[in-house]
Chains A and B, each alone.
Chain A
Amino acid sequence: MAAPILRCARAGRCWSLGSRPRRTRALFAEPVPGRVREQSSAALQEPRPGAHEWAAVVGLEIHAQISSNSKLFSGSQVSFLAPPNSSVSFFDASLPGTLPVLNRRCVKAAVMTGLALNCTVNKKSLFDRKHYFYADLPAGYQITQQRLPIAVNGCLTYSLSVGAHWSPSATKTVRIKQIQLEQDSGKSLHDDTRSQTLIDLNRAGVGLMEVVMEPDMSCGAEAATAVRELQLILRALGTSQANMAEGQLRVDANVSVHHPGEPLGVRTEVKNLNSIRFLAKAIDYEIQRQIEELRNGGKILNETRAFDEKLGCTVSMRDKEGKQDYRFMPEPNLPPLILYDAESLPTAADPQQVVNIDWIRERLPELPSVTRGRLVEQYGILPEHSFALLNEDGLLEFFQTVMKETRAEPKKVIGWILSTFLGYLKQRNLAVSESPISPSSLAELLSLVDSKVISLPAAKQVFEELWQNQGKTTGQIIQEKKLELLQNQEELEEICQAVLAEHPQEVMAVKKGNQKVVNKLIGMVRRATEGRADPIRIKQILEKQLQ
């Protein structure tokens, strides 16, 4: 595992999200007592290589809520924002005598996710009980897969953006240790003033996939990009809606720092990360905090820290009295989960009772990396454009609808969508689905530009009008504002003639061989037509008239 080294020269940039980048740089510039062996001035200025280098190591544990109708082990409904305790079965409330019955959909979802993440799907996996006392876990234990999870040894490939652009060279891979099926807990609402906790068990028993990523990442941006790619994969598969704000994707980060070549440092676990932006911010803050702590001669405690969104820092969560003892034991109510492939499939098996890995593999939907490749090939757009299209929810569908309905070239369309359209959305903080402009009107507009009915500046004007005045069609706006290009050849020729007559000096210059003056004349004609003439056509007419 080669963790990329963060050098001091890059620290300011890499950790620009940290709270005190300036102080960081100052700290890095100072030689560290004890690390400098020779007290000569040269040694002070240029300490031994490696002494000022820190490598950060980041691993992630991600809980993804499985998109299913019913819960993992009971037939009660999975619903977000239902009235409290309204979808809780006797099993979810852990009443005596109830037993778990595994949801086939959740098993299939975990297999699909495992295959999409290049995992080995275990044909036999086991369920275990993980014990802890918490009011929103009525059984006193969570059913999970500790010993033998459903999928192991996978990997996830993601592409890191360099600056504002995607670069195919920054493609990285993080290993997936395992994916395990487990139950979600209920929710606790803490009422500090009345010193009580309100318990809603609607979420108790909902199926989760815990995806454990190996510590192959080294900064917040890498972790954020990996999580974003996982989010896109889960959505493409339909195995999880993976909405972080709604708690369908929960990320815990394990962070440590060390000097390259030395053993890994003590790690902390950062929790409470409910957006990708905060995930990156929290990790970068934590890396920075640990480096500063060690620089100042402090120690890193193996503790759980929470990210405070308002303060932009991580704070220690008072730990639960020493090390947790989860008292894992095999779940006695669930026999091993056996999955089959084409070879091991029993002949007379009830299809409802069999999960066939090969069958699922053959029917996996297109994954984001494949979609990007296809877009590049099909439309001839740049790889970074394909990343941008997938990165914004709904943008790919918008682009594809526009492409279906317009005659304009893909390269023109992608330009409009990624700069103009996305720019407008970002400026107003809107999602693609909230756009006042429909893909059809944009398609119509781009077709008009393509067939030279209107000029490019006029098209921008129409776009602006479309955005402001919903309900108006592209045609109406063009008519109202008189934006269409002059198509009448005779009229154009007349205007050109008039301009030439008014500027004999320029005409003389061109006739003497100064071709640059033609552009000046074109400009004059365009001004005379209020921008409603196609420059290429003007040029043709002028050249003809000047001969």
Chain B
Amino acid sequence: MWRRTLRAALRAGLSPGTTGAVAEARAARVGSSRFAGSDSGKAEGPSPGGRVSAELIEHLERLALVDFRNREGVARLQAAIEFAGQLRAVDTDGVVPMESVLEDRCLYLRADDVVEDSCVEALLQNSQWTVEEYFVAPPGNITLPKQSEQDPVTES
């Protein structure tokens, strides 16, 4: 679970704007303590200033698809962990995690009407590579499956 905190902190540390960083890290922490059940999240994790293992870096790189395996990247990661570590100073025992700052508001329900027109041209302008009306992505982080989950219509 400390990985989640770390990841959020990492994002906070790496994001250019820092205004949202604290809130984001907090949201992630609130979320993670929910998912981890009763575990308070203070017992585990690296000690403040602890080294980040190569294995963990690789795991993070896979999840984030970001290459930060150079000295600067790791230093930033380290700083982010320390930054997030400050949150551990807050005693949250017995406090029900907040789901959202809007949790006491009504969730607005929209009528099932089509109100958006096609904006394919505008959208495709955001993409460097397109083929016909498709976005083009690299084969990506997932190995190209032979039995792909392709559209059954195009298969037949």
Binding site for B on A (CB under 8 A): 68-70, 74-77, 81, 83-90, 93, 95, 101-107, 126, 131, 133-135, 147, 187-190, 192, 195-201, 245-247, 271-272, 274, 306-308, 315, 317-318, 320-321, 325, 327-332, 334-338, 352-353, 355
Q: Is the CB of A272 within 8 A of B114?
A: no
Partner of A353, one of B104, B106, B123, B152: B106
Task: Kindly provide the distance from the CB of A307 to the nearest chain B CB, expressed in whole angstroms.
Answer: 8
Q: Which 9 A-B pairs have the closest CB atoms?
A: A329-B31, A105-B112, A135-B137, A75-B115, A198-B134, A104-B109, A306-B147, A199-B135, A84-B133
Q: Does B132 contact A (CB under 8 A)?
A: yes
Q: Is the CB of B114 within 8 A of A70?
A: yes
Task: Kindly provide the distance from the CB of B29 to the nearest chain A CB, expressed in whole angstroms.
Answer: 10
Q: Which residues of B contact A74 (CB under 8 A)?
A: 116
Mask, B119-156, CB within 8 Å of A = 1, is: 11001101000011111111111111101111111100
Q: Is the CB of A75 within 8 A of B110?
A: yes
Q: Is the CB of A337 within 8 A of B140?
A: no
For chain B, residues 20 to 36, give those with C-beta under 8 angstroms from any C-beta of chain A. Answer: 27-28, 30-32, 34-35
Q: Is the CB of A196 within 8 A of B123?
A: no
Q: Which residues of A contact B62 (CB under 8 A)?
A: 321
Cα A271 to Cα B149 with chains together (Å): 9
Q: Which residues of A contact B4 (CB under 8 A)?
A: 327
Q: Is the CB of B111 within 8 A of A352?
A: yes
Q: Is the CB of A70 within 8 A of B115?
A: yes
Given A272-B147, A330-B100, also A134-B123 (CB < 8 A): no
Given A75-B115, A328-B31, A335-B100, also A107-B138 (CB < 8 A): no
Cα A337 to Cα B99 with chains together (Å): 12
Interface centre among B113, B116, B124 (most CB of A within 10 A): B116
Q: Which residues of B contact A107 (CB under 8 A)?
A: 109
Cα A76 to Cα B28 with chains together (Å): 30
Q: Is the CB of B109 within 8 A of A88?
A: no
Q: Does B63 contact A (CB under 8 A)?
A: yes
Binding site for A on B (CB under 8 A): 3-4, 7, 27-28, 30-32, 34-35, 59, 62-63, 65, 99-116, 118-120, 123-124, 126, 131-145, 147-154
Q: Which residues of A contact B116 (CB under 8 A)?
A: 70, 74-77, 87, 89
10 A–B contact pairs at CB < 8 A?
Answer: A76-B114, A85-B133, A88-B119, A102-B108, A103-B112, A133-B63, A197-B144, A325-B59, A329-B31, A337-B107
A-B contact count (CB 8 A): 193
Q: Is the CB of B109 within 8 A of A353?
A: yes
Interface centre among A70, A107, A134 (most CB of B within 10 A): A70
Task: Kindly provide the distance from the CB of A125 to the nearest chain B CB, expressed in whole angstroms.
Answer: 10
Given A69-B113, A75-B113, A90-B119, also A147-B147 (CB < 8 A): no
Taking CB as reference atom, which chain A residue is nearest B58?
Answer: A321
Task: Kindly provide the distance from the CB of A323 to the nearest chain B CB, expressed in whole angstroms.
Answer: 10
Given A133-B65, A246-B153, A334-B107, also A188-B137 (CB < 8 A): yes
Q: Is the CB of A197 within 8 A of B34?
A: no
Q: Which residues of A contact B31 (CB under 8 A)?
A: 328-330
Q: Is the CB of A86 within 8 A of B135?
A: no
Q: Is the CB of A84 within 8 A of B132?
A: yes
Q: Is the CB of B123 within 8 A of A93?
A: yes
Cα A88 to Cα B144 with chains together (Å): 25
Q: Which residues of A contact B119 (CB under 8 A)?
A: 88-90
Taking CB as reference atom, which chain B residue is nearest A91?
Answer: B116
Q: Which residues of A contact B108 (CB under 8 A)?
A: 101-102, 353
Q: Which residues of A contact B32 (CB under 8 A)?
A: 329
Q: Is the CB of A134 within 8 A of B133?
A: no
Q: Is the CB of B99 within 8 A of A336?
A: yes
Cα A197 to Cα B116 with chains together (Å): 26
Task: Kindly provide the distance from the CB of A408 to the nearest chain B CB, expressed in whole angstroms.
Answer: 40
Q: Is the CB of A201 within 8 A of B135?
A: yes
Given A83-B133, A330-B99, A335-B107, also A77-B35 (CB < 8 A): no
Task: Kindly provide the distance from the CB of A281 to the nearest chain B CB, expressed in whole angstroms.
Answer: 14
Q: Which residues of B contact A87 (CB under 8 A)?
A: 116, 118
Partner of B151, one of A189, A327, A336: A189
Taking CB as reference atom, which chain B residue is nearest A319?
Answer: B143
Q: Is the CB of B28 within 8 A of A69?
A: no
Q: Is the CB of A134 within 8 A of B107?
A: no
Given A93-B123, A329-B31, A330-B30, also A187-B143 (CB < 8 A): no
Q: Which residues of A contact B143 (CB under 8 A)?
A: 318
Q: Is the CB of A101 within 8 A of B103?
A: no
Q: Which residues of B contact A317 (CB under 8 A)?
A: 145, 147
Q: Is the CB of B151 within 8 A of A247?
A: yes
Q: Is the CB of A85 within 8 A of B123?
A: yes
Given A104-B112, A246-B152, also A196-B103 (CB < 8 A): no
Task: Kindly provide the distance from the CB of B126 to the nearest chain A CB, expressed in whole angstroms.
Answer: 8
Q: Which residues of B contact A306 (CB under 8 A)?
A: 145, 147
Taking CB as reference atom, which chain B residue is nearest A307?
Answer: B147
Cα A134 to Cα B143 with chains together (Å): 11
